Structure 1
Amino acid sequence: MKNQSGSMWKTIFQWSGVVVSLALADLIQYLLNPKSRWWDFYTDAKWTDIVVTTAGGITMYATIFGIVRILSGWINKKGLLKNNILVHFFLTTGVVVVCMFLLLYVENVFYEQLWPESAGGNGEVDVDVRNYLVVNIVVAAFVNSFYNSFFFFEKWKSEVMETNKLEILSHQLRENALQAELEVLKLQLDPHFLFNNFSILTQLIEINKEAAQEFLSSLSKVYRYILTTGKKDVVSLDAELRFVETYFHLIKIRHGETIHLTVDVQEADRRKGIPPVTLQLLLENAIKHNMSTLKKPLYLSIVSEDNGRIMVKNNLQRININYKSTGMGLKNIKERYLLLEGKTPEIAETPASFEVVLPLLNI
């Protein structure tokens, strides 16, 4: 449908160019010498002769622009020439000049046969004929250059619009792919979280049923948070900290005074965003990889940093037990930040501590 519309406009432009070219050539010729004997033809000749002459002029320009259109179509099929506007212009202009000479010669011969009394070597008429030849060549070349410029602009505009559409489609596909990756990464949280906490619940049932019941109640609240944030890529830090408070209650049931958590976050930072369950994963990793006893407690902290960041930190006292780790926690956080923000958290380990600096997101 689009190609048919473009072809229709080309046809309309070509035929309007024929009429405009003929009218413009006559106007310029008149402005150059309005008292020329050239115009006696239009006052002395029969109306049929005028119609035939006008039709001949239209035919001449239509022939020229038809040839130009065919030549342009041929050039557009050549890979090295199709996007070169100078090649288009010089080739078509050359064709216009040659065709104009030939067609004006034919028209002049026809004109002498139609109106023989004007022939006979009249100097003024000869000058007018030469002027008419030059004017028509200039007009045809001008209209041809305008024709080429117009359609190169239309082609350029069409290509730009097509490129923009492709870029928009590419962005949409990229966003869909990123969204799919985020969904996959968020789905990884559930089995990871459930595996660890059901293991703790199993142990508590064997040791203390009342503690197990309290643990299960808190666990249901924690899991409710995971379900409500499952379709979100970013949540407020304030909501995440409230979730951490409930989660840490589960930890205290299991570990008692062997683990401590300090939260010192500025109010302005609480209004910013963070990927859901990020803090829980970091706390869980710290607990899993470090020992905690009454003599050597595990200290966890979440504090505000400069430039809209927070730090999650724990003292380092590694468990000297080799076990197979899923490696899912930190990897999950890094990949989610990379997809959402284009950068990853800063992770640093010293002989005394393990630190993760998280950039806060806009929500």
Structure 2
Amino acid sequence: MKIQFNKYVEWIILWIAVMGIIVRGIVLPAIHWSRQLVLFAATLLFLNLVWLFHLNFDHYLNRKVPFEQNVRKRVIIQLLVGWSVVKLVLSPIIILLVDEVTPKFPFVLNPLNVITIGVVAFLANLLVALGFIANHFLNRWRENAVRAARLEKEKSQVQYDNLKNQLNPHFLFNSLSSLDGLIEENPALARQFLRQLSKVYRYVLQNKDKELVPLDTELDFIQHYIFLLKTRFDGAFSVIFDIPDHIADKAIVPVTLQILIENAIKHNVINAAHPLTVQISADDRFLRVANVIQRRSRVEASNGLGLSNLKLLYSFLSPKPVDVQDDGERFCVRVPLLESAV
């Protein structure tokens, strides 16, 4: 959205005309109200004409000598031509107005008065022209800032989509390895494992183009994912939920919970001697995923971008940031809950 520089101009013109009445009242206390009224109207008319000239001249220069073509040439033309035209119009008007206001003091067109008129014309033109120039560059800056933010969001979305679409090849490899071990040992569990795995990937495919999903939809999906992890770690992994029913219609980015749980698995030891419990809780504002730290000495299959991309993406969706807390004993990620996209 462009900044509307000209929407304030009429108020500025009116303020200048009113200030003229005040100044004339102080300098010439005997001036009649009828002359004040005539001069007030003349001031409004003159300033509006000057403004309309600059407005149309600026539009003309935008077509013929745009800033992008030659900034220096454009600024020089806008200042000098505008000053020359305004000076030609201003000079006789000032003489007439002075004659009208101070008939007892004849106005002499001496060198000092000529210079004074020229300086007034130049300053008036300079102020208006610089307003147009500053408005142009401010609008360009805002457009570039919006464009940069949009590109940053698109970049973040692409990175996040890649993360969703791959759903961690390492996870798929481990899942298939677990499935292979179950086929002979427990065929019934293997079939159940395969069904849950297919539901996980079906969810990702169904929601890969969505920016947001309802929280209860994400919670249903994560149950399938947790089943695979419990089977894979032979009961050494568990999740505790504390989600109030009244926030089920809140929304989050798809597979947020999967990314946060996978992050906990990648960075912590999980075995029979060191079981890992992830706690998922929420209130009206945030969803929290937390676990006691059982840090691995070496982290495999981690590019360190999962949480970073998640934080960047949420920064475009909510004024509340994704908050990561690590006190050395407990790791907690707070994700802002959003309004449902439905």
Give the TM-score band, short-chain normalised.
0.5 to 0.7
Change (3 A) 1:27 1:135: farther
After TM superposition, give the deviation of residue 133 of structure 1 in Å. Answer: 1.9
* Equivalent of 1:32 in 77, 91, 104: 104
* Contact kept? 1:291, 1:318, Cα under 8 Å: no
CA contact (8 A) 1:240 1:276 kept: yes
- Out of 3, 16, 20, which is 2:93 matched to? 20
Structure 1 residue 315: deviation in Å?
4.6
How far does the alpha carbon of each residue in 1:151-196 deviate from its partner, in whole angstroms, 9 at most, with x for none? 3232133213322322321231233124213322431344352331
Q: Does the aligned pair in 1 maintain the 2:86–2:121 contact within 8 Å?
A: no
Partner of 1:355: 331
The TM-score normalised by the length of structure 1 is 0.57
Q: Measure the CA separation in 1 of the matches of 2:274 and 2:110.
A: 102
Separation in structure 1 between the aligned mates of residue 223 and residue 236 of structure 2, nearest angstrom: 17
Aligned to 2:147: 172
Partners of 1:292 and 1:136 lie apart in 2 by 97
- Please tell me the root mean square deviation across aligned C-alpha atoms, in Å: 3.7
C-alpha spacing 1:142/1:331, structure 2 compared with 1 (3 Å):
same
2:131 matches 1:156: yes
Deviations 1:102-139 (A, max 9, x none): xxxxxxxxxxxxxxxxxxxxxxxxxxxxx442689558
The alpha-carbon distance between structure 1 residues 177 and 312, as it changes in their structure 2 partners (threshold 3 A), is: closer
What is the TM-score of this pair, normalised by structure 2?
0.60
- Note the C-alpha offset of 1:148: 1.7
Secondary structure, counterpart of 1:290 in structure 2: coil
1:10 Cα deviation after fit: 5.0
Query: Moved runs in structure 1, 4+ residues, more than 6 A?
Result: none
* Equivalences for residues 1-363 of structure 1 within 5 A: 1-2=60-61, 6=78, 12-24=85-97, 26-27=99-100, 31-32=103-104, 131-133=106-108, 138=113, 141-142=116-117, 144-191=119-166, 193-208=168-183, 209-255=187-233, 257-267=235-245, 269-288=247-266, 289-293=268-272, 297-304=275-282, 308-315=285-292, 325-328=300-303, 331-338=305-312, 340-341=314-315, 343-348=321-326, 354-363=330-339
C-alpha contact 1:201 1:212 (8 A) present in aligned 2: no
The amino acid across from 1:194 in the alignment is: P
For the residue of structure 1 that corresponds to 2:270, the secondary structure is: coil
Q: How many matched pairs?
A: 258
- The whole-number CA distance in structure 2 between the counterparts of 1:324 and 1:27 is 88
Give the match's secondary structure for 1:260. Answer: strand
Aligned-pair CA distance for 1:339: 5.1
Structure that is richer in helix per residue: 1
Q: Which runs of 5 or more structure 2 residues have no equivalent in the other structure?
A: 1-59, 66-77
Q: Does the 8 Å contact 1:265/1:304 carry over to 2?
A: yes
CA distance in 2, matches of 1:248, 1:8: 74
**Counterparts of 1:27 and 1:139, CA distance in 2:** 18
Task: Tell me the distance in 2 between the aligned counterparts of 1:262 and 1:298.
Answer: 11
Aligned to 2:72: none
Q: Deviations over 1:213-263 (max 9, x none)?
A: 433332232223323443455544333222212212323444454433221
List runs of 5+ in structure 1 lacking aligned partners. 34-130
Matched position secondary structure for 1:133:
coil
Q: In the superposition, relative to structure 1, how do residues 334 and 267 fare at CA in structure 2: closer, same or farther (>3 Å)?
A: farther
Contact 1:309-1:358 at 8 Å conserved across structures: yes
State how far apart, in whole Å, the 1-side matches of 2:335 and 2:299 are. 30
Cα distance in 1 for residues equivalent to 2:294 and 2:140: 56
- Aligned residue identity for 1:309: F
Give the secondary structure class of the aligned counterpart of 1:179. Answer: helix
Q: 1:326 to 1:255 in 2, by over 3 A?
A: closer
Larger of the two Rg values belongs to structure:
1
| Shift of residue 337, structure 1, vs aligned partner | 0.9
